[in-house]
């Protein structure tokens, strides 16, 4: 499995090629780097935008601002055709990267001509209680059982779980400290007593160093790719048919809290959402009252 350092090096190879082969790209990249860092956005944002701009510049042998609208439309159309879901593909990052580039250069007139991204309106996949239990019991390794259980118990994003350090588990206050996550915000979430019991068993068995879940080398975090592998193996073992990702655990956490009666504003804060609209989607998934659910069809034939 590749380390995060190797993945970062590989992801920036095409950027280095563009810096050497396309005149002016290095200056553009440095401006983009400064802008992303000053705005407080994540390094993954810079990586995604820079790779797409580098691919585009290498394709045409010139900077994005010098590519004609006709050339650009043809290029974006080819990206859209390569994927069944363009909103989740290279197409999306190419458009977002170009928008960011044009705004950076003060070329707002070009921004309006770029195609709109169609956002997916599907409701999130959510596991029921039986599916959660089956999934958490499936992994052979204690490390993976604790990892998946912890992610659900605290509603963690994949990168939050990857970067979680031993010192972030506060058993005295029964809280977990999530540091500098999305939007560069810290937050606290409750630590489950059952999870703490499992964490202690895991800690004495595996002896992690610095990070709660170590990668191939002690003192390095388990990669998101490694976490995805653990989840895929667990899903195969318990034969779940839903389209389950690591984020499904977070969706299930939020939905179950709502079903158990927690208010939507508190859930928003626990999830670390910037906008309440993002959290409101769970209102469409949650069952509002377990004890009073029925179909009106049954009432049609109910004996009076």
pLDDT in tens, 70-99: 888 888 888 877 765 544 567 778 888 888
Q: Beta 175-178 vs 187-190: how paired, if at all?
A: antiparallel
Q: For residue range 168-217, list pLDDT tens digits in order.
A: 999 999 999 998 777 678 999 999 999 999 999 999 999 999 999 999 88
Q: What is the pLDDT of residue 173?
A: 94
User: Phi, psi (5° rounding) for residue 287?
Assistant: -90, 120
Q: What is the pLDDT of residue 165?
A: 95
What are the residue numbers of the active site? 157, 182, 247, 250, 273, 282
Q: What percent of the chain has pLDDT over 70?
A: 85
Q: What is the band of 300 on the pLDDT scale with cuts at 50, 70, 90?
A: low
């Amino acid at each position: 499995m590749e380390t995060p350092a190797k993945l970062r090096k590989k992801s920036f190879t095409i950027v280095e090629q563009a810096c050497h082969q396309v005149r002016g790209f290095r200056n553009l990249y440095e401006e983009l780097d400064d802008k992303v860092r000053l705005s407080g956005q994540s390094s993954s944002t810079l990586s995604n935008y820079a790779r797409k701009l580098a691919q585009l510049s290498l394709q045409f042998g010139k900077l994005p601002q010098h590519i004609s609208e006709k050339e650009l439309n043809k290029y974006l159309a080819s990206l859209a055709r390569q994927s069944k879901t363009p909103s989740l593909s290279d197409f999306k990052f190419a458009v977002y990267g170009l928008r960011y580039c044009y705004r950076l250069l003060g070329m707002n007139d070009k921004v309006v001509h770029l195609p709109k991204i169609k956002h997916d309106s599907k409701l999130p996949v959510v596991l029921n209680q039986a599916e959660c239990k089956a999934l958490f019991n499936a992994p052979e390794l204690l490390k993976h059982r604790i990892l998946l259980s912890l992610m659900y118990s605290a509603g963690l994003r994949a990168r939050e779980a990857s970067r979680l350090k031993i010192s972030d588990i506060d058993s005295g206050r029964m809280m977990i400290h999530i540091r500098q996550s999305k939007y560069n915000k810290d937050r606290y979430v409750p630590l489950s007593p059952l999870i703490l019991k499992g964490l202690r068993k895991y800690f004495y068995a595996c002896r992690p160093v610095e990070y709660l879940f170590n990668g191939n080398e002690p003192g390095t975090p388990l990669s998101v790719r490694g976490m995805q592998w653990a989840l895929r193996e667990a899903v195969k073992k318990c034969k779940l048919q839903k389209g389950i990702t690591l984020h499904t655990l977070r969706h299930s956490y939020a939905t179950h809290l709502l079903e158990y009666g927690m208010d939507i504003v508190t859930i928003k804060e626990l999830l670390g959402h910037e906008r309440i609209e993002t959290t409101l989607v769970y209102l469409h998934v949650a069952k509002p009252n377990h004890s009073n659910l029925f179909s009106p069809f049954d009432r049609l034939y109910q004996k009076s």
